[in-house]
Amino acid sequence: MEPRYRGSSKRQDEFGGLPNPNIYSERNRRGTRYKRDEEPPVTALVLVLAFVLAIFFFVRHVDYKLPTPLTVNDISENPSSFIEERARNDLKTLTSMGSRVSGSHENDILAVDGILRILNDIKNSKFAVHNLEFELQKPTGSFYVKFQDGLTHSYAHIRNIIAKLEPAKKTNSSDTILVNCHFDSVPGSPGASDDMVSCTVMLECIRVLTRQSKPLKNPIVFLFNGAEENGMQAAHGFLRGVEGNSSEVGHKWAKNLKTFVNLEAAGAGGREVLFQTGPGNGWLLDVYKKVPYPWGSVVGEEIFQNGLIPSDTDYRIFRDFAKIPGLDFAFIKNGYFYHTKFDSVENISPGSIQHEGSNILSLLENLGNLDFSQIQYSEEKMVFFDIFGWYMIVYSETVARMLNILVSVVVLVIAWLEARQSLPEVAWNIFSTVVAWVSGILLAVVCGLLLNLFGYFSPFHSHAMSVFLIFGIPCVLGQVLSFSFLLKGNEDSAWIAGKTTLALLLLTTTLFSRMVFSITYNLIFGMLGWYAARKAMSNSKERLGLYLLIGEMFPFALSMYLVTGCLDTFVPIMGRSGSETVPNVFVAILTTFTLTIPCLSGIVPILMFFKKTVLKFGVVLIAAITVWIIFVNGKNPYTDLTPMRLHIVEVDRTFYDRDLSTVKHTDAGFWLFNIDPNIANFMPEFTDKIPELRNPRELDAMTCKELYCGLPYFFPVRKLLRRTHWIPKSNGLSQEHKGRVRMEVTQDTYVSPAVRRVTLSFAGPDHFTVNLSPGKNFDLIKWSLTDEVPPATGHIQDNRPNYFVFHSRGIEFEMLDITMDFEKKPGKDNNQKDVLVDINFASFYLFGDNMKSEEMKDMLRKLPSWTYSLGWSAVTQMYSIPA
């Protein structure tokens, strides 16, 4: 039966459900759009759904597509190409010693010797036109960085291996390119992807470059740093550290650096993504886009630099301390393996090393022959994104803003004309769209809250793309219902209403964000498809097909490409996002927001014309998803390969009296911090099966009376890990642990009537932290760690500031001395209870026999297989120096 339209007996041509002004329906004499009594044929809906699924599977195929890895058998035909097999063999050798914590024998001796041996082999086989030198650096230094709550780093005798490749015949160019990786790892992890694979990529690039008949014009410095996991200390040591008794600041090859390439990982396998550039200097992106497999987006840059990902890289050090522009790359697939025992060579997919290696080799060849004297340096930020790994689009922020404003104004003018130049109608269209979008997102959030209520926490954890079903379907249904209600009798306006709202959003955000480029192309292609379909075709299905082909295919695919990459990154991150995150709500908002605005603004209005069918189908899908969550996935979303992270520290605490030698009291316990936000929900299961974890006491780091709750925080992450669990135990750590930890006051004098100088000397293992909080009547005005006292990490009771110091050293023992000047606040008199400074001194045993006691090992063995448990020991000493 053909549908008939109210207000006219004339049958209108179908546009297959596309809500398109002047295409789908003509206005009657009174200017009111016609409304159908019946839905279009379901075949049109099938076409739309098939289009959506085809785009989804296309972007997933592109995302997982890797080049064929080259083997040693391919060398004869590819003598100047990157060979994955050689790099993989190096990787197996350099990770064979297991975890490589900075300061350990495995890192400071075995890994160093392994890298130097490979460099020596490369040097012995190089062509004579090249000069290759390499050195071992052991820098000492300190610096402040605003990471999380902010901290001051201190380091001594950490390891760097530095290689320099340049022409054997000296040239006029001293403009140097820096390439950086790190070979240390976190405790318990082989660190294959993070980050030894990048080091083997660099080694293979050196191998290939030194076997070419023509040398590069510019020198390249390859920095293999051995203390990135300590908070980027080794990169700083290369730039600003001092070695031995030398007065020279920084390594000699850190001079004349023009740009840098940083190689990192937050996952295992897949492609490496370019996620930070500059600052400014679009010429770097122009060089990068020549690589064979470009992948990157300004979306990742803005997300990372706005602190939405709880991590940092050496890029910050080179940007802030060397003041040079650079490129930051990272593997991000399989974030479940990041910083776990699963970060092994076997879990790096074939072709992954070839992908990064081919790109970095090409990039270095281009940079190595670049004439830096011809470069036009600029601080202007850039918009960049790749087209499905085939090509990189790059243009300046100024061009982006001009384009965005032009597109927005054109679309708003068209919307005004389509509304018969009626501002109230335009306003109503915008209002309806905003309500529909918000309704869809809120409905998804409600679903997330209901999942929490019934105990289904993070059901998407092991299946990142399931979020499209869990939260995307309710979001679409909410939008369809909202549009249908608000635009009842005028449904054809939904399409133009969505584009109008997108144009207004683009216009208002273009000055604040560069990642709105996807909206720009959504509008450009959408309007082109709109006009082409209504002018070129008379058949309804052909119109729909043409509109989808021109108006939706590219922008929808581009947006879906970005959204799936974002979700692939963030879903595993939820498992290490800290105690204050609510994953079901966060992921519901992230999924539906990114789906609603860049992806579905042109698709949902089409679905409105199949409202009854869409609602029925949506209800069936929601029922199926509910069955899957309850009966298949269950209340435990974790698996052996996508585990819950459990970090447990066996802590021995000593609280000293004001004389700094008398012990007030001691205690001990297991400290379990909620790196996975769902840990608190699973505590009953853990305590039921593991006696050692029974009777946990929840602690709030923001309300504790003691400095950092008297606990051994490794980094200043009170906000990230605000809620933790303390399980008291009767016996503390051995004397072997405690005997190595001590603090001494080696100087205490007045340099003026109001300024008191104190020097504290700390002895401990290779990693420890010192938290300092001046008394309420004193200010810390100077110290020996940095030229100026940095901003306070935060404040404790009485609004007292505290300063967080993280110290690490190489395998050689050395004490840390900190000299501080405290100034009494004007008008403040001392009394017997006043404190000059409170101190939390925490030492960590992160490797070797002292890492875990037998009691801890026995407890960790009892944990379920779907958890990844990392345990270590810590000794905490609390002091209060009287005023």
361 with 208: CB under 8 angstroms?
Answer: yes
For residue 844, the Cα-to-chain-centroid distance in whole angstroms is 26
Residue 291 in tokens: 């690589």
* pLDDT tens per residue, range 402-434: 999 999 999 999 999 988 899 999 999 999 999
> How does DSSP assign 505-544, residue by residue?
HHHHHTTT-STTHHHHHHHHHHHHHHHHHHHH--SHHHHH
Radius of gyration, alpha carbons of the chain: 30
For residue 425, the Cα-to-chain-centroid distance in whole angstroms is 42
d(CA 613, CA 15): 17
> How does DSSP assign 339-385, residue by residue?
TSTT-SGGGS-TTHHHHHHHHHHHHHHHHHT--GGG-------EEEE
Residue carrying the six token digits 């993989």: 88
- Name residue 824's amino acid: K
Q: What is the pLDDT of residue 311?
A: 82
Beta bridge pairs of residue 88: none
Taking residue 736's Cβ as centre, other Cβ atoms within 10 Å add up to 10
Q: What is the pLDDT of residue 795?
A: 74
268 with 334: CB under 8 angstroms?
Answer: yes
Percent composition of the chain: helix, strand, coil (DSSP 3-state, to 5): 40, 25, 35
DSSP 552: I
Cα distances (angstroms) measured from residue 44 to each of 483, 489, 548, 595: 20, 21, 12, 22
CATH number for region 74-141+176-379? 3.40.630.10
For the packed helices 423-453 and 397-418, what is the interaxial angle rounded to 10 degrees?
110
**Mean per-residue pLDDT over the chain, rounded:** 92
Q: What is the pLDDT of residue 797?
A: 67
Residue carrying the six token digits 């000293």: 656
| Coil vs helix vs strand at 558 | helix
> How does DSSP assign 133-169, residue by residue?
EEEEE--BEEEEE-STT-EEEEEES--EEEEEEEESS
Q: What is the pLDDT of residue 656?
A: 96
d(CA 452, CA 446): 10
482 with 439: CB under 8 angstroms?
Answer: yes
For residue 730, the Cα-to-chain-centroid distance in whole angstroms is 40
- Name residue 764's amino acid: G
d(CA 645, CA 578): 11
Beta-strand relationship, 816-824 and 391-396: unpaired
789 with 821: CB under 8 angstroms?
Answer: no
> Of 250, 262, 179, which is closest to residue 216 (Cα–Cα)?
179
d(CA 861, CA 268): 26
Beta bridge pairs of residue 33: 27
Q: What is the pLDDT of residue 12?
A: 37
Whether cis (ω within 30° of 0) applies to the bond prior to 279 is yes
d(CA 439, CA 437): 5
Domain boundaries defined on the chain: 74-141+176-379, 423-633
Beta bridge pairs of residue 875: 652, 843
Whether the CA torsion 540, 545, 551, 552 is positive or negative: it is positive
- Which parts of the chain sit beneath pLDDT 50? 1-35
Beta strands in 617-662 (DSSP E): 644-656
Beta-strand relationship, 867-882 and 835-845: antiparallel
d(CA 672, CA 692): 12
